[in-house]
Amino acid sequence: MSEKSRTDRHVSAETITGVLKRVIAENGRNHIRGYAFAIFCLVVVAGSTAFTAWIMEAVVNEAFANRRADLVAWICGAILIAFILRGFATYGQAVTLSKIGNNIVANYQRRLYSHLMSLSVGFFSEARSARLAAQINQNINGIRDVLNMTVTSIARDFLTLIALIGVMISKDPLLTAIVFLVAPPLLLGLRYVSKRLKSATRESVVINSHVLGAIQETIQGISIVKAFTMEDQLRSKVETIIDQAEKRSNRIARLSERTAPMTETFAGVAIASVLGYSAYQAIYGGVLPGAFFAFIAALLMAYDPARRLARLQVQMERAVVNARMIYEILDIEPHQRDKPDAKPLAVTQATIEFRDVSFSYANGGKSILNGVSFIAEGGRTTALVGPSGAGKSTVISLIPRFYDPASGQILIDGQDIANVTKQSLRNNLAYVSQQPYLFEGTIRDNIRYGRPEASDAEVEEAARLAYAHDFILDQPQGYETPVGENGVTLSGGQRQRLSIARALVRNAPILLLDEATSALDTESEQAVQKALEHAMSGRTVVVIAHRLSTVVNADKIIVMQSGTVAEEGTHDILAGRIDGLYARLHNLQAPGVPMQENEKEAGE
């Protein structure tokens, strides 16, 4: 999409008409039959309402003034049928619009989820996940409300109002003209309110998303909150945001409800004028009251649709603000689309090569990698070591294309990964992060996410290789035990072993380990290290070394410092360089002691 077309779409989305056109274009065709039926029902509602007002003249004149007993049954029957029709029509349109609305919400939820999955890791690094979820949850109904309000307002309220105005004109044109003399000031007042409501609604949505996001983050990190006695600090912070949200909500309430005194005043003036004129005509002009009763009935019945239409722009502004914020997410262009000529990755030896790779997380920001070049031979283990902040995790994250380098190339078996499809690239990778993450579901489900078609036997074999089988069987339901939110019922070491099992069941030729044993105690680490030795056999492994045992067993060690490759070689070669960075790290670290404890000193 060109920059101009994106700009045009953005401009059109700034108006109610622009958003409405887009919503109708995206949803109207899918629900045209449902909306046609709902409109038909609403037309019946409008017609039966107008008929009820119109027949009042016959009720008053024929039944009460002229005392036509022969017509009473027909009049009563007609009124009964009108009310029955209105009842069924109201039910039909309400159910139909609800079903359509629920389907629209479900479709946009699917679209949003699919679109979010297409965005890069960089987007989620910048966006607060809790706040993003709260914003989506708050605004998703805006799309449905825009359509439903449009249909009900046009097909029910507008048509009902037009029909009732027709009844009023047929009964007394002069009275109708009197009623509409006070309409222009009302419309101007409502237009002023809707403009002020637009900005207030957007501010309220943003602040409310902050409230929900802060609450969600507190719940997720409750153990840290309590461990550091952060309750008072967070309570003060959240209460401040809540106060702001309350003030914005109160402002919206004041603006929204200003329509009430305007419409009620309009109705009072109109009805009082009509009643006064009608009474004068009946008393001094001897005119039968039937026409006046019919007129007043039509006027009173017209009040509700007129009031709803008067509030329509105010309500539509709120719905459009919500819809617009959903479209802001949907209109975000993925930065890492596959190239038009991208081909599937063909893996033979699974050799990974970095050629003069540079990278920074923000345009013009601090460079994290500077001209990094090395080769991770196929079927061998390459370890990355170095002080904290040297760029080790960044190297790991570039291989699956979580991010793209600013310059340079990353090749697998001679193929630039920028020119292959991301799906084929990642299908050939298994990844274990430093922070294990488990999803809602059972233990078996979480392991099988590595390869959905894996059999139960393969899942259990992967768990054995990760030394997780025994503790899984100790769980209340074994492999069918729910893990809770992010595995809250399991220890950190157990969660990490499950994530390693998930990587093992994938059976990919390339294995990426981002300090995969960092969450394990010494005993668990020894068990998992044995499992990893089996898993590494015949695979290309790139591992960020956390403990000395991992470094010693690597076929090649890449020593990084300040985003560059400082040294590379085997453990024996690098440890023998007395003045080398790796030798200093090795000498500072006693066996079994985490390397990170001495990184700062080594870096100095």
> What pLDDT was estimated at residue 194?
65
In Å, how far from its chain's centre is CA 46? 38
Parts of the chain with a pLDDT under 50 = 1-13, 590, 592-604
> What pLDDT was estimated at residue 134?
66
3-state secondary structure of 594: coil
393: Cβ contacts below 8 Å, ≥ 6 apart: 434, 514, 515, 544
Q: What is the DSSP letter of 158?
A: I
* Separation CA 435–CA 496 (nearest Å): 8
How is 234-258 classified by DSSP, letter by letter? HHHHHHHHHHHHHHHHHHHHHHHHT
Domains of the chain: 3-330 (1.20.1560.10)
Residue type, 460: E
> What pLDDT was estimated at residue 595?
43
Residue 561 backbone phi and psi in degrees, to 5: -155, 125
Question: How big is the CA angle at 500 (ends 495 and 506), to the nearest 5 degrees?
Answer: 130
How is 59-117 classified by DSSP, letter by letter? IIIIIIIS--HHHHHHHHHHHHHHHHHHHHHHHHHHHHHHHHHHHHHHHHHHHHHHHHH
What pLDDT digit, counting tens, does each position of 478-530 carry? 999 988 776 777 887 788 888 889 988 988 999 998 877 665 666 666 766 77
3-state secondary structure of 373: strand
What pLDDT digit, counting tens, does each position of 346-389 carry? 999 999 999 999 998 876 668 889 999 999 999 999 999 888 88
Note the pTM of the prediction, 2 decimals.
Answer: 0.68
CA nearest to 211, candidates 178, 246, 187, 176: 246
Radius of gyration over every alpha carbon of the chain, rounded to an integer in angstroms: 35
> What pLDDT was estimated at residue 193?
67
Compute CA distances 264 → 162, 295, 385, whole Å.
Answer: 20, 19, 75
Torsion of CA 324, 329, 330, 333, to 10 degrees: 130
How is 401-459 classified by DSSP, letter by letter? TSS--SEEEEEETTEEGGGB-HHHHHHTEEEE-SS----SSBHHHHHHTT-TT--HHHH
Q: How many CB atoms lie within 10 A of CB 231?
A: 12
CA nearest to 50, candidates 22, 85, 11: 85
3-state secondary structure of 123: helix
* Separation CA 178–CA 445 (nearest Å): 71
How is 382-405 classified by DSSP, letter by letter? EEEE-STTSSHHHHHHHTTTSS--
> What pLDDT was estimated at residue 515?
79
* Separation CA 381–CA 389 (nearest Å): 22
3-state secondary structure of 354: strand
Asked if 460 and 469 count as a contact pair (C-beta separation under 8 A), the reply is yes
3-state secondary structure of 374: strand
Asked if 562 and 404 count as a contact pair (C-beta separation under 8 A), the reply is no
Total count of residues recorded for the chain:
604
> What pLDDT was estimated at residue 510?
93
* Separation CA 339–CA 320 (nearest Å): 35
